[in-house]
Structure 1
């Protein structure tokens, strides 16, 4: 088995990524929000130019799968008509901002996100790594985005707003949203100036701090953010409805059904948890019979699985069939991850149980990630049946 290729960048619309089933065209909705018109249009593009499926990613984006290279111009034209296309690749890549999808309408993160997106178009931020991102989790309640990947975090506690470098335990208190933007951008400039970006153009804040980089005195945090919240599940919450699909992959038909279900004045917010959040609950049960997950407790919610082979060119085994079988056999609150290769894209963090594809078989990792040393190697499907039951 050769090592999986870590490309060091995320796909976009202007710069899609080649996968085993065609191009991945990632769409970054403004403020993580779509109207019924935009959602319906995205579903139509997936049907007409892709393979009819759309992934909800861990960065709160949506990506159209299976786009043939010759059809990319038509997809970009369609996204532009929907108002979902950045002017160029650079501004798209740097607009890597994740908002709390369950926020109140008057939450300051809206102003913070808009100001950050405008500022990050500036030339002084052009060298930020493609994966470098901002997480806005400013509701004064348990932090829903605490485990979501990001490098500069705008959070809060009972006393107000904080800006925290990822990897640092405490955040720097700020006076207001404008102050938060200024401190967040100062952290980004410090990261660049202090050698946070390697010769390969990659770099993350937590790794930079762990390597010994010291924050300047005016950016050191003194306040702890609010506690963490449990991982969100489908079902009613915050006055709306969170809806899921197996492994975070929605069909175009499901997206159209969700668009039809949006209440007047409501909107759809994309979450980094494989869920879509309708800001107003549907007036009628229009989502029934769609295979969408609309309530907590579904066993598929406890297992993450990438698309695997043959959909991913780096996948060394098919993943989702075995993941579906495992889901009903896992005891209690066990969280599992089935990865087609050692990159672990579907669940970068630790899981209770991780199966990693290797040359048509699986390696088994307990209490770790897909990159960790396995407890057992080369397991066949028959071996898995013995371990977890038929």
Structure 2
């Protein structure tokens, strides 16, 4: 994808995990072929930033050698599988996700942004995340297959869950789902076999920075980190999450500049896109401003370089949107909503919020 600072190259690690060699190789590749910046996405993927058209083929070959991308570009596009980061080897999440990854060729050609969720622990973590076709733990204790946008699903067994998911994805396309683009917008009634009344299990506790049963969790402010910072983690395995948090397996935790282990860090409540000049759609700087504003905002803060609101789709307690080089401010709103105060420069905005 094209951005203001070059190409973005997306990396979807299997099971959302990089081993020590993959982490080290990814950091080296980001510094050699990009501008050294890496994004964490809301799908628990990574994006290497600032890649030139000339460097892109070399980067792809390096990522293939690290087993971080599929050799077949079509299969790579289908590997949008988000798994709960608290999986353990041998559990249903691992077994189902690996089977789905091995059977990608059986899927129809789905719209580009369609994705899958596998979240089978007793207390699911991904209930609030977007995924068109979901295999989850149900409130009854077994597994369910649920179409995104439907509150309930149908019972499946671990051994036939992928069969049923592929069947539902095939129905989605055959029933006109390509026009809707996403399952949540597809209004056709589900086929009878996919209609169930089983609710998902109660959502588990969110992952926070600090000690974690798997090791130690670090927050990545704004979801962007320098490759040199990640390299400081050393030869360790890390797991990605959709919440801008990295889990270091077996880690005890230490201070690393650029990563946060402070659960009270105000930046944990902030969503801010790259802004100008990194994004050609943005007309204003975002992240330096967000750092100054965050301590003065009690709830969630969203600073968006334009009305698209790429960093956050949901409303925020305070939303600041760039427009023609100036800032609009709205409360309990999404980016681009009618503002309470409009056309402020940065100094006026900071003064208004008491952050000058």
Q: Does 1:358 align with 2:323?
A: yes
Q: Which runs of 5+ in 1 are unaligned?
A: 1-16
In the other structure, the counterpart of 1:207 is 185
Q: Does 1:19 align with 2:6?
A: no
Which residue of the other structure, out of 111, 114, 124, is the alignment partner of 1:132? 114
Which residue of the other structure, out of 333, 343, 346, is the alignment partner of 2:308? 343
Q: Does 1:167 align with 2:149?
A: yes
In the TM superposition, structure 1's runs of 4+ consecutive aligned residues that sit over 6 Å from their partners are none
Which range moved further: 338-347 or 43-52? 338-347
Contact 1:109 1:177 in 2 (8 A): no
Contact 2:267 2:291 in 1 (8 A): yes
In the other structure, the counterpart of 1:324 is 291
In the other structure, the counterpart of 2:192 is 217
Q: How far apart, in 2, do the equivalents of 1:273 and 1:188 lie? A: 26
TM-score (norm 2): 0.94
1:1-390 matched pairs, under 5 angstroms? 17-122=1-106, 124-126=107-109, 128-141=110-123, 143-156=124-137, 157-174=139-156, 176-198=157-179, 203-209=181-187, 213-229=188-204, 231-260=206-235, 262=236, 267-282=237-252, 285=253, 287-331=254-298, 334-389=299-354, 390=356
Q: Which runs of 5+ in 2 are unaligned?
A: none
Q: How far apart, in 2, do the equivalents of 1:205 and 1:28 lie? A: 21
Map Cα deviations across residues 290-316 of structure 1 (whole Å, 9 max, x no partner): 331123111110001111110011112
In the other structure, the counterpart of 1:8 is none
Change (3 A) 1:373 1:203: farther
Q: How far apart, in 1, do the equivalents of 2:133 and 2:339 lie? A: 32
For 1:121, what is the secondary structure of its paired residue? helix
In the other structure, the counterpart of 1:6 is none
Q: How far apart, in 1, do the equivalents of 2:269 and 2:220 lie? A: 12
How many residues matched?
354
Deviation, 1:230, is 5.1
Contact 1:151 1:206 in 2 (8 A): yes
Contact 2:225 2:258 in 1 (8 A): no
Contact 2:84 2:126 in 1 (8 A): yes
Q: How far apart, in 1, do the equivalents of 2:251 and 2:141 lie? A: 32
Contact 2:330 2:340 in 1 (8 A): yes
Q: How far apart, in 2, do the equivalents of 1:271 and 1:372 lie? A: 29
Deviation, 1:357, is 1.2
Q: How far apart, in 2, do the equivalents of 1:239 and 1:39 lie? A: 17
Map Cα deviations across residues 98-147 of structure 1 (whole Å, 9 max, x no partner): 0001223332111111222222223x512x01110011111111x31122
For 1:164, what is the secondary structure of its paired residue? strand
TM-score (norm 1): 0.86
For 2:234, what is the secondary structure of its paired residue? helix
Map Cα deviations across residues 146-165 of structure 1 (whole Å, 9 max, x no partner): 22111111111342111111
Which range moved further: 357-366 or 321-330? 357-366
